[in-house]
Structure 1
């Protein structure tokens, strides 16, 4: 344990840190940063829980909840975050995201990008927001689920490439599958008459932004109690080019893409297809059954400036974060 001298009474809530050690280059620095940031505000030292090859974060998060944590910091990639979300959904324990890895789609969609010092300051001074959680089988997701091309793209992207060049590595994974055959699917939305399509991918989103900041579902709201559904059906490279250009240009109408909203989504194909949840591959399957748990996740988020009813001030928070960084790195 790292010794900390508290200059104020320790009166803050109990916290825990669930961290994927593979995704963090300097665990000692991360720990010093979090402990120092909490101590400065008078919060007690957190419980420290590392993920393992056998448990990507769900068990550790459940252990933190059982131990009385009122807030859980999660530091890892999308897989770690998805596992923690599954444990936290439906509780009053807040999630504080500290991004690591290459995806971090939830962090990117909700403005939670930053280092550990910034993440601590958001937890200390920021607001709390409840968001919806998607459910697929016995797993939860906070960002999106997909079947088909989007999962093929993830499958075709090497971990080495992601580590060295970040999200751009996904472009290579996508190019490998542009000419693949479409998948015949039957899609049911809230029990309405089925849609029969020859799609390249079906994406069910809670938020709208993909890797690299690409916004596919521009009207997706993570707290509206509904899922946004995109059915992409390009047939050739020209179709892909037109679709990609419309997405990048944020056009209202995107060719070869249909958009819907629903609370319940059933996707059925005729052969096993690659599938993903929150950017993490799951086992291939012939379909997906997806529902929603409205406002099930309590999340630490930055508050906007200029609201007199909110105490969060981004300038003051960044200054505090910089002081914590300097102290953790031994500069003070």
Structure 2
């Protein structure tokens, strides 16, 4: 548990809120420490890595990230890559706030999120990494929620930014129909850990460190950001009947039924249009380029990528 003498740094995204909103909420929770906190602002060109580096250079013991999923991802990527043992906390200010929601951090409650940041215990959390091949070059990116291609990536492309600013994550629902029509089924190869290469057929592949999407939809109910593995799911639903069955599986079987059920919960089973697995390394090869999304952001098109997990890479409150 933190104390007023702890060295605290805050990385904040000024496009999400004004500094006074954050400083007032911090003063409400911990008045004695508010004046000693160091502030580091992100920019459009650098969404968090540079600010995180500057914060760690001060010897910060608690790094509070105030922003959306993009800011959280950038800071987490830097901290995990640096090997720092700084404790990290989140003040969720974005549209999805998926990492915060998966960790039960208060959303739409800035003082409540600060209280969790200052009083909560730190737990080890994994970070996923993806290496993306592009014209002979390989780029490496960290993520804390999930990445993939298909429906989720198309929803990001199809979502209207102005609508998202007005209604939040509900804007993704408005884009769902266009995303479905823009996601064509194809056959691609997957190699999980040391297993054999195998062919999967679907329009969507998601690899998750966490399993919950926008609106509380639980796509991967067994995903645990602290288990040292990544979960993945292939979606191949086509036509009304398969889509209804898929929605039933995700909303009822993965959600309501598991919440109201009693006794031991069975692991989710594969269906006609949903297949899933778990691995610490996953290599994917596509016959044609597909757009990748990473923690709710567009990453670009690729035909090959490899996903790995870095266990216990962060200490998160």
TM-score normalized by the length of structure 1 = 0.83
Which residue number corresponds to residue 110 of structure 2?
Answer: 116
Q: Deviations over 1:90-143 (max 9, x none)?
A: 321111100012111011111002322112211222111011110113211111
Structure 1 outlier segments of 4+, above 4 Å: none
Q: CA deviation at 1:255?
A: 4.0
Q: Is residue 2:186 matched to residue 1:193?
A: no
Q: Distance in 1 between matches of 2:209 and 2:4?
A: 36
Q: Is residue 2:231 matched to residue 1:233?
A: no
Which residue number corresponds to residue 313 of structure 1?
Answer: none
Which residue number corresponds to residue 106 of structure 1?
Answer: 99
Q: Which ranges in structure 1 are unaligned for 5 or more consecutive residues?
A: 1-9, 301-332
**Secondary structure of the residue that 1:154 maps to in structure 2?**
helix
Q: Is residue 2:301 matched to residue 1:284?
A: yes
Q: Deviations over 1:143-164 (max 9, x none)?
A: 1111122111111112211111
Q: Which ranges in structure 2 are unaligned for 5 or more consecutive residues?
A: 132-139, 255-267
Q: Is residue 2:10 matched to residue 1:17?
A: yes
Q: Distance in 1 between matches of 2:148 and 2:142?
A: 13
* 1:20 and 1:76 in contact (8 A); partners too: yes
Q: Distance in 1 between matches of 2:118 and 2:39?
A: 18
Q: Deviations over 1:49-72 (max 9, x none)?
A: 111111001110111001111111
Q: CA deviation at 1:36?
A: 4.8
Residue of 60, 65, 69 corresponding to 1:74: 65
Which residue number corresponds to residue 93 of structure 1?
Answer: 86
Q: Distance in 1 between matches of 2:161 and 2:13?
A: 15
Which residue number corresponds to residue 207 of structure 1?
Answer: 210
* 1:131 and 1:295 in contact (8 A); partners too: yes
Q: Distance in 2 between matches of 1:142 and 1:259?
A: 19
Q: Distance in 1 between matches of 2:117 and 2:95?
A: 22
Q: Distance in 2 between matches of 1:149 and 1:124?
A: 37
**Secondary structure of the residue that 2:36 maps to in structure 1?**
coil
* 2:205 and 2:234 in contact (8 A); partners too: yes
Q: Distance in 2 between matches of 1:60 and 1:224?
A: 29
Q: CA deviation at 1:167?
A: 1.2
Q: CA deviation at 1:46?
A: 1.4
TM-score normalized by the length of structure 2 = 0.86
Q: Distance in 1 between matches of 2:188 and 2:316?
A: 35
Q: Distance in 1 between matches of 2:235 and 2:88?
A: 32
Q: Deviations over 1:242-269 (max 9, x none)?
A: 1012110025344411111100011110
* 1:88 and 1:297 in contact (8 A); partners too: yes
Q: CA deviation at 1:19?
A: 1.0
- Size of the aligned set, in residue pairs, is 289
Q: CA deviation at 1:199?
A: 1.2
Q: Deviations over 1:262-311 (max 9, x none)?
A: 000111102211111111111111122100100111001xxxxxxxxxxx
Q: Distance in 2 between matches of 1:45 and 1:243?
A: 51
Which residue number corresponds to residue 141 of structure 2?
Answer: 139
* 2:23 and 2:34 in contact (8 A); partners too: no
